[in-house]
Structure 1
Amino acid sequence: MEKWRILQTIARFVLPLHLIVRPMTCDKLGRYSRLIGRSCIMPTKYDSPITDMPTSLTELKGLIQKAVGGDNLRQPYESIWVSSSSCPTTPSHTMYMPLLCVVAQGSKQVTLGDEQYIYDTGHFLLNTVTLPATSRVLDASPEKPHLGMTIGLDPAMVGSVIAEAGLPTPTAGTPLRAMESSPIDCGLLDAVVRLARFFDSPRESPYLRSLVLREIIYLLLKGPQAARLHQIVPGLGQTQRVARAISWLRDNYDKPLTIEKLARESGMSSSALHHHFKDVTALTPLQFQKQLRLQEARRLMVSEGMDAANAGFKVGYDDPSYFSRDYRRFFGAPPRQHVERLRGDAVQIESAP
């Protein structure tokens, strides 16, 4: 009976496991199929559909709705978030970590610098570098709420998948923008659905969940966003120098910034830093630092009750009027008015998109 239960679990959550370096032969897979009482077909391509798109979306909608339970943002497991919104939302400023975002219903827009990315049931969003961005739900209603799932991407796991699968490293060149929206295929959506099924199966989750996460990474690495995902791996090209600059800015956002010092910290010339930093983030280093400062100041005022002058000073502003001017330009309202509105609406500053 124990063997039977294990095989049923593998069939429900893990098969088809494209990531196995030595895939099962069709004969061996057939024997497993007969044992678990279901038919399995070994896909001939890594992006072959396992189920049709509407069926997968319907199941994913149900799994997210059950996990969230109304308008909310929840984290069922480490580095996995699910959210629901029954109406379009105002822009929300947050830090985007390396992640994959999938929508089961509705659509969402992310603004990075002057660029906008829209993703919906037919597209996923991939981000490979930690950066500040603005997001909002576009399409949602009480009858058809926006339903989304966000999966954090671990650089170490991405590097491990690349090494174990023997995938080639892209030719070095100009760094790609860290964020992009791309069409989702049935194979990737199917893997996301199988990951969501763990919301109901905590006992099987810890080990098998990592297998499905690796499969998702593998499918991304075999798809059109492979070169962008390679940028997440430490030590690969100019993007990692930009990542070092971003890390320094996050740790020192409250300190005066000179491009020369940041260039030394990242191992690039000043001109190369400016060029590559904007290639990856769509922002200049000074714009990036300003957004970090303003988001942290907002958090201090909303979560810790700090007044605007002290919050501005805490994040590196010497002039309160200059801080208020930057804050109003970025958030669309003066600090006090904006914070009062956030508190009055009981808005939670999101930790995940």
Structure 2
Amino acid sequence: MAQFAGMQDLIAAIERFVDRQSGVSPYATPVEGMIVMRSDHPKPPGHLLFRPSLCVVAQGAKWATFGGERLEYRAGQALVIGVETPSIGRVVEASPAEPCLVLALELDPAIMRSVAQDLPDLPGFAGEPTRGVHVTDFDGPLAACALRLVELCDTPEAVPVLRPLILREIAYRLLTGPRGGEIARLTLAGSPSRPVIEALHWLRERFRETVRVEDMAAVARMSASAFHRHFKALTAMSPLQYQKRLRLLEARRLMVARAFNVETACFEVGYESPSQFSRDYSRLFGAAPKRDVAELRVALAGARENVVASAFWDGPA
């Protein structure tokens, strides 16, 4: 398969790194906030909670859904996640001869803001509320940045010095690229998206509680109707759908990682009815809680504890 410009060196660097690793993908790296993934075959959908991050495909293809929207990204492209949001993701193109190779990197909000404030011509904020997730090409200078990050794994002592510089260049390339205005709206304090993101963080801390849209709108200093419209544009789901997804992901994590039983997990995440919890859980994950957790534990057997991300990682994927 033909590769985009700049991808071949990145593919080779990722393969060299993976060949030195033991255990199963995903692989932690010496570069804080960066993991590497290799898949030799297409995978079933996995449920994740993304933090602001980049998910770069060097080879193969993936898709991710946010609410009712599906985004596909393949070799030479990256998924740019600007806001913390639940998602369903899947590797759709991979083989032993040409595995799917992915570099996932957390974005540093402080670095993004610093770079944005240094730009002489900052992209404007005009237009409708922006989507918090999009796909962008990741070739040329951006691919070179990704390559330097992977190569840093060979010299861990250089990471504290060089990582911030490379992240600044990535921020610059993203902010001055074709989607720079959308990224700036998710980054800067003065943008119209920031109050909604602040309310989203407020909900994240209180998702176990009974929360009304009006409460979140008050945090964002907006009317309930305007807030609902901006929130759905940003996350592709309503505030209550977002809260429900957070509850179910956390319940799944508690049952798999901490051996909570179904009823205990149900009440821990804020549900009042175990039967309603089981219905919502089955609708999202495709199986009743006990069956899903049992199957997930088998699937995760042998995976290192710090990278059980394939099931419910609170980070890029």
* SS of match in other structure, 1:231: helix
Gaps of 5+ in 2: 302-307
- CA offset digits 1:86-114 (Å, max 9, x no partner): 22111111111111111122111111011
1:72 aligns with 2:36: no
Q: Which residue type is aligned with residue 80 of structure 2? A: L
Matched length: 303
CA 1:69/1:147 → structure 2, altered by over 3 Å: closer, same or farther?
A: farther
Residue from 116, 133, 139 that aligns with 2:70: 116
Structure ranking higher on relative contact order (CA contacts 8 Å, 6+ apart):
2
Q: CA RMSD in A?
A: 1.8
Aligned twin of 2:49 = 95
Residue from 290, 308, 316 that aligns with 2:262: 308
For residues 154 and 320 of structure 1, what CA distance do their matches in structure 2 show? 39
For residues 27 and 176 of structure 2, what CA distance do their matches in structure 1 show? 30
Contact kept? 1:93, 1:132, Cα under 8 Å: yes
For residues 339 and 172 of structure 1, what CA distance do their matches in structure 2 show? 45
Contact kept? 1:61, 1:105, Cα under 8 Å: no
For residues 11 and 296 of structure 2, what CA distance do their matches in structure 1 show? 34
Larger Cα Rg: Structure 1 or Structure 2?
Answer: 1
212-221 or 281-290, which deviates more: 212-221
1:158 aligns with 2:102: no
For residues 290 and 265 of structure 2, what CA distance do their matches in structure 1 show? 11
1:7-86 superposed matches below 5 A: 52-66=5-19, 68-69=21-22, 71-76=24-29, 77-86=31-40
Q: CA deviation at 1:67?
A: 5.7
234-243 or 92-101, which deviates more: 234-243
Aligned twin of 1:248 = 202
- CA offset digits 1:249-273 (Å, max 9, x no partner): 1111111121111111221110011
Aligned twin of 2:234 = 280
Aligned twin of 1:44 = none
Residue from 162, 182, 191 that aligns with 1:228: 182
Q: CA deviation at 1:145?
A: 1.9
1:142 aligns with 2:96: yes
* SS of match in other structure, 1:330: helix
Aligned twin of 1:48 = none
Gaps of 5+ in 1: 1-50
In the superposition, the TM-score normalised over structure 2's length comes to 0.90
Segments ≥4 residues shifted beyond 4 Å: 67-70
